[in-house]
Amino acid sequence: VGLVSNYSLIINSINKIAWQSLSSVTGSFGNFNVDSTEKRRNEVFNELYLATFWIYGFITICLLVLLNPFISVWLGDRYFVNLSTVFALVLITYVSGMNFPTYTFRVTSGLFDEIKYNYVLFAITNILLSIILGIKLGLAGVYFATIISRIACVEIKEAKIVCKKVLNISLLKFLMKYTLSFALVVVSYLFINNIIKLITLNGIVGFVLKAITCVFLVNGIFIIMFFRTKEFRALLNRANSIFIRR
Protein backbone atom coordinates (compact mmCIF):
# COMPACT_ATOMS: atom_id res chain seq x y z
CA VAL A 1 0.00 0.00 0.00
CA GLY A 2 2.91 2.33 0.73
CA LEU A 3 4.35 1.72 -2.73
CA VAL A 4 0.97 2.20 -4.40
CA SER A 5 0.56 5.58 -2.68
CA ASN A 6 3.29 6.96 -4.95
CA TYR A 7 1.27 5.95 -8.01
CA SER A 8 -1.99 7.16 -6.46
CA LEU A 9 -0.49 10.59 -5.77
CA ILE A 10 0.36 11.07 -9.44
CA ILE A 11 -2.86 9.59 -10.81
CA ASN A 12 -5.18 11.45 -8.43
CA SER A 13 -3.44 14.77 -9.05
CA ILE A 14 -3.84 14.43 -12.81
CA ASN A 15 -7.43 13.21 -12.47
CA LYS A 16 -8.32 16.18 -10.25
CA ILE A 17 -7.07 18.64 -12.86
CA ALA A 18 -8.93 16.85 -15.66
CA TRP A 19 -12.21 16.60 -13.73
CA GLN A 20 -12.11 20.24 -12.63
CA SER A 21 -11.41 21.33 -16.20
CA LEU A 22 -14.45 19.47 -17.44
CA SER A 23 -16.58 20.56 -14.49
CA SER A 24 -16.08 24.20 -15.44
CA VAL A 25 -18.67 23.76 -18.20
CA THR A 26 -21.27 21.97 -16.04
CA GLY A 27 -23.11 25.12 -15.00
CA SER A 28 -24.06 25.93 -18.59
CA PHE A 29 -26.02 22.68 -19.02
CA GLY A 30 -28.86 23.42 -16.57
CA ASN A 31 -30.93 25.76 -18.73
CA PHE A 32 -29.72 24.05 -21.89
CA ASN A 33 -31.31 20.71 -20.95
CA VAL A 34 -34.60 22.46 -20.23
CA ASP A 35 -34.80 24.72 -23.28
CA SER A 36 -33.07 22.73 -26.02
CA THR A 37 -34.54 20.24 -28.46
CA GLU A 38 -33.88 16.53 -28.20
CA LYS A 39 -31.73 16.62 -31.33
CA ARG A 40 -29.60 19.44 -29.95
CA ARG A 41 -29.17 17.67 -26.61
CA ASN A 42 -27.87 14.62 -28.43
CA GLU A 43 -25.43 16.73 -30.44
CA VAL A 44 -24.02 18.47 -27.37
CA PHE A 45 -23.86 15.19 -25.44
CA ASN A 46 -21.82 13.62 -28.24
CA GLU A 47 -19.47 16.63 -28.23
CA LEU A 48 -19.03 16.37 -24.46
CA TYR A 49 -18.48 12.62 -24.75
CA LEU A 50 -15.75 13.09 -27.37
CA ALA A 51 -14.04 15.80 -25.30
CA THR A 52 -14.17 13.58 -22.21
CA PHE A 53 -12.89 10.56 -24.11
CA TRP A 54 -10.05 12.56 -25.62
CA ILE A 55 -8.92 13.81 -22.20
CA TYR A 56 -9.28 10.55 -20.30
CA GLY A 57 -8.14 8.35 -23.17
CA PHE A 58 -5.02 10.48 -23.44
CA ILE A 59 -4.44 10.38 -19.67
CA THR A 60 -4.99 6.61 -19.51
CA ILE A 61 -2.57 5.74 -22.30
CA CYS A 62 0.11 8.15 -21.10
CA LEU A 63 -0.12 6.92 -17.52
CA LEU A 64 0.09 3.26 -18.53
CA VAL A 65 3.12 3.95 -20.73
CA LEU A 66 4.94 6.51 -18.59
CA LEU A 67 4.15 5.79 -14.94
CA ASN A 68 6.91 3.25 -14.36
CA PRO A 69 9.54 5.25 -16.26
CA PHE A 70 8.61 8.29 -14.15
CA ILE A 71 8.78 6.31 -10.90
CA SER A 72 12.16 4.98 -12.01
CA VAL A 73 13.50 8.52 -12.51
CA TRP A 74 11.83 9.89 -9.38
CA LEU A 75 12.32 7.15 -6.79
CA GLY A 76 14.14 4.24 -8.41
CA ASP A 77 13.17 0.80 -9.74
CA ARG A 78 12.79 -0.68 -6.25
CA TYR A 79 9.58 1.35 -5.83
CA PHE A 80 7.78 -0.35 -8.74
CA VAL A 81 4.52 -2.24 -8.15
CA ASN A 82 3.30 -5.05 -10.39
CA LEU A 83 1.72 -4.09 -13.70
CA SER A 84 -1.71 -5.54 -12.84
CA THR A 85 -2.00 -3.06 -9.95
CA VAL A 86 -0.93 -0.18 -12.19
CA PHE A 87 -3.52 -1.19 -14.80
CA ALA A 88 -6.24 -1.34 -12.16
CA LEU A 89 -5.35 2.06 -10.69
CA VAL A 90 -5.35 3.74 -14.08
CA LEU A 91 -8.55 2.03 -15.23
CA ILE A 92 -10.37 3.33 -12.14
CA THR A 93 -9.51 6.84 -13.34
CA TYR A 94 -10.66 6.06 -16.90
CA VAL A 95 -13.94 4.51 -15.81
CA SER A 96 -14.82 7.31 -13.38
CA GLY A 97 -13.77 9.97 -15.90
CA MET A 98 -15.80 8.53 -18.75
CA ASN A 99 -18.87 8.74 -16.53
CA PHE A 100 -18.66 12.55 -16.67
CA PRO A 101 -21.03 13.11 -19.67
CA THR A 102 -23.85 10.95 -18.30
CA TYR A 103 -23.32 12.25 -14.75
CA THR A 104 -23.44 15.86 -15.96
CA PHE A 105 -26.59 15.42 -18.04
CA ARG A 106 -28.33 13.54 -15.24
CA VAL A 107 -27.49 16.07 -12.54
CA THR A 108 -28.27 19.14 -14.64
CA SER A 109 -31.59 17.56 -15.62
CA GLY A 110 -32.54 17.19 -11.95
CA LEU A 111 -32.65 13.38 -12.01
CA PHE A 112 -31.54 12.45 -8.48
CA ASP A 113 -34.07 10.03 -6.97
CA GLU A 114 -33.64 7.45 -9.71
CA ILE A 115 -30.09 6.60 -8.69
CA LYS A 116 -29.86 7.38 -4.97
CA TYR A 117 -29.89 3.72 -3.87
CA ASN A 118 -27.34 2.66 -6.48
CA TYR A 119 -24.52 4.37 -4.61
CA VAL A 120 -25.40 2.38 -1.51
CA LEU A 121 -25.42 -0.79 -3.59
CA PHE A 122 -22.07 0.25 -5.07
CA ALA A 123 -20.52 0.60 -1.61
CA ILE A 124 -21.78 -2.79 -0.43
CA THR A 125 -20.81 -4.58 -3.64
CA ASN A 126 -17.40 -2.94 -3.61
CA ILE A 127 -16.66 -4.19 -0.09
CA LEU A 128 -17.74 -7.76 -0.86
CA LEU A 129 -15.90 -7.94 -4.19
CA SER A 130 -12.80 -6.37 -2.67
CA ILE A 131 -12.64 -9.18 -0.13
CA ILE A 132 -13.20 -11.91 -2.73
CA LEU A 133 -10.88 -10.54 -5.42
CA GLY A 134 -8.36 -9.36 -2.83
CA ILE A 135 -7.98 -12.94 -1.62
CA LYS A 136 -7.67 -14.30 -5.17
CA LEU A 137 -5.66 -11.56 -6.88
CA GLY A 138 -4.02 -9.60 -4.09
CA LEU A 139 -3.90 -5.81 -4.02
CA ALA A 140 -4.81 -5.51 -7.70
CA GLY A 141 -8.04 -7.42 -6.99
CA VAL A 142 -9.17 -4.74 -4.55
CA TYR A 143 -8.87 -2.08 -7.25
CA PHE A 144 -10.47 -4.25 -9.93
CA ALA A 145 -13.38 -4.75 -7.52
CA THR A 146 -13.91 -0.99 -7.51
CA ILE A 147 -14.02 -0.91 -11.31
CA ILE A 148 -16.50 -3.78 -11.59
CA SER A 149 -18.73 -2.46 -8.82
CA ARG A 150 -18.79 1.05 -10.22
CA ILE A 151 -19.72 -0.05 -13.74
CA ALA A 152 -22.33 -2.58 -12.62
CA CYS A 153 -24.01 -0.53 -9.89
CA VAL A 154 -23.65 3.10 -10.97
CA GLU A 155 -22.49 3.77 -14.50
CA ILE A 156 -24.85 1.49 -16.41
CA LYS A 157 -27.78 2.78 -14.35
CA GLU A 158 -26.72 6.39 -14.88
CA ALA A 159 -26.38 5.82 -18.61
CA LYS A 160 -29.81 4.16 -18.72
CA ILE A 161 -31.45 7.13 -16.99
CA VAL A 162 -29.85 9.68 -19.32
CA CYS A 163 -30.50 7.65 -22.48
CA LYS A 164 -34.16 7.15 -21.59
CA LYS A 165 -35.18 10.45 -19.97
CA VAL A 166 -32.85 13.03 -21.52
CA LEU A 167 -31.54 11.82 -24.87
CA ASN A 168 -34.26 9.33 -25.84
CA ILE A 169 -31.79 6.90 -27.38
CA SER A 170 -31.16 3.19 -26.92
CA LEU A 171 -28.96 2.19 -23.98
CA LEU A 172 -27.47 -0.51 -26.21
CA LYS A 173 -26.36 2.16 -28.68
CA PHE A 174 -24.56 4.07 -25.92
CA LEU A 175 -22.94 0.92 -24.51
CA MET A 176 -21.69 0.01 -27.99
CA LYS A 177 -20.15 3.46 -28.31
CA TYR A 178 -18.58 3.12 -24.87
CA THR A 179 -17.15 -0.30 -25.73
CA LEU A 180 -15.68 0.89 -29.03
CA SER A 181 -14.11 3.87 -27.26
CA PHE A 182 -12.46 1.58 -24.73
CA ALA A 183 -11.29 -0.74 -27.51
CA LEU A 184 -9.60 2.24 -29.20
CA VAL A 185 -7.77 3.05 -25.96
CA VAL A 186 -6.58 -0.57 -25.62
CA VAL A 187 -5.37 -0.85 -29.23
CA SER A 188 -3.70 2.57 -29.07
CA TYR A 189 -1.94 1.65 -25.82
CA LEU A 190 -0.62 -1.64 -27.23
CA PHE A 191 0.69 0.10 -30.34
CA ILE A 192 2.26 3.06 -28.52
CA ASN A 193 3.76 0.90 -25.78
CA ASN A 194 5.58 -1.19 -28.39
CA ILE A 195 6.94 2.00 -29.98
CA ILE A 196 8.07 3.36 -26.62
CA LYS A 197 9.95 0.12 -25.90
CA LEU A 198 12.21 0.95 -28.84
CA ILE A 199 13.52 3.96 -26.91
CA THR A 200 16.36 2.47 -24.87
CA LEU A 201 17.59 5.66 -23.21
CA ASN A 202 17.19 5.79 -19.43
CA GLY A 203 17.11 8.61 -16.92
CA ILE A 204 15.51 12.02 -17.36
CA VAL A 205 16.44 12.33 -21.04
CA GLY A 206 14.90 8.95 -21.82
CA PHE A 207 11.73 9.78 -19.91
CA VAL A 208 11.31 13.15 -21.65
CA LEU A 209 11.78 11.51 -25.06
CA LYS A 210 9.24 8.82 -24.19
CA ALA A 211 6.76 11.42 -22.93
CA ILE A 212 7.04 13.58 -26.07
CA THR A 213 6.65 10.52 -28.30
CA CYS A 214 3.62 9.32 -26.34
CA VAL A 215 1.90 12.72 -26.45
CA PHE A 216 2.30 13.04 -30.21
CA LEU A 217 1.27 9.45 -30.95
CA VAL A 218 -1.86 9.49 -28.79
CA ASN A 219 -3.14 12.77 -30.21
CA GLY A 220 -2.15 11.72 -33.71
CA ILE A 221 -4.18 8.51 -33.46
CA PHE A 222 -7.19 10.35 -32.04
CA ILE A 223 -7.05 13.01 -34.77
CA ILE A 224 -6.91 10.34 -37.47
CA MET A 225 -9.87 8.51 -35.91
CA PHE A 226 -12.11 11.52 -35.27
CA PHE A 227 -11.20 14.42 -37.55
CA ARG A 228 -13.99 13.55 -39.99
CA THR A 229 -16.69 13.39 -37.30
CA LYS A 230 -19.25 16.13 -36.72
CA GLU A 231 -18.38 16.23 -33.01
CA PHE A 232 -14.70 16.87 -33.70
CA ARG A 233 -15.50 19.73 -36.10
CA ALA A 234 -17.90 21.24 -33.57
CA LEU A 235 -15.30 21.11 -30.79
CA LEU A 236 -12.69 22.58 -33.12
CA ASN A 237 -15.03 25.46 -33.99
CA ARG A 238 -15.67 26.11 -30.30
CA ALA A 239 -11.94 26.16 -29.60
CA ASN A 240 -11.32 28.54 -32.52
CA SER A 241 -14.08 30.87 -31.29
CA ILE A 242 -12.59 30.99 -27.79
CA PHE A 243 -9.11 31.61 -29.21
CA ILE A 244 -10.35 34.42 -31.49
CA ARG A 245 -12.25 36.14 -28.66
CA ARG A 246 -9.21 36.07 -26.41
Q: What is the pLDDT of residue 205?
A: 93
pTM: 0.92
Rounded CA separation 210/71 (Å): 14
Q: How far are the Cα atoms of 54, 100, 132, 157, 245 from residue 106, in angstroms, in the given order?
A: 21, 10, 32, 11, 31
- pLDDT tens sequence for the chain (246 residues): 788 899 999 999 999 999 888 887 776 776 777 777 888 889 999 999 999 999 999 999 999 999 999 998 998 888 888 889 999 999 999 999 999 999 999 988 888 888 889 999 999 999 999 999 999 999 899 999 999 999 999 999 999 999 998 899 999 999 999 999 999 999 999 999 999 999 888 889 999 999 999 999 999 999 999 999 999 998 888 777 767 766
Please report the DSSP string for 89-103 in residue order.
Answer: HHHHHHHHHHTHHHH
The region that residue 32 occupies, defined by phi over 0 for left and psi between -120 and 50 for alpha, beta otherwise, is alpha
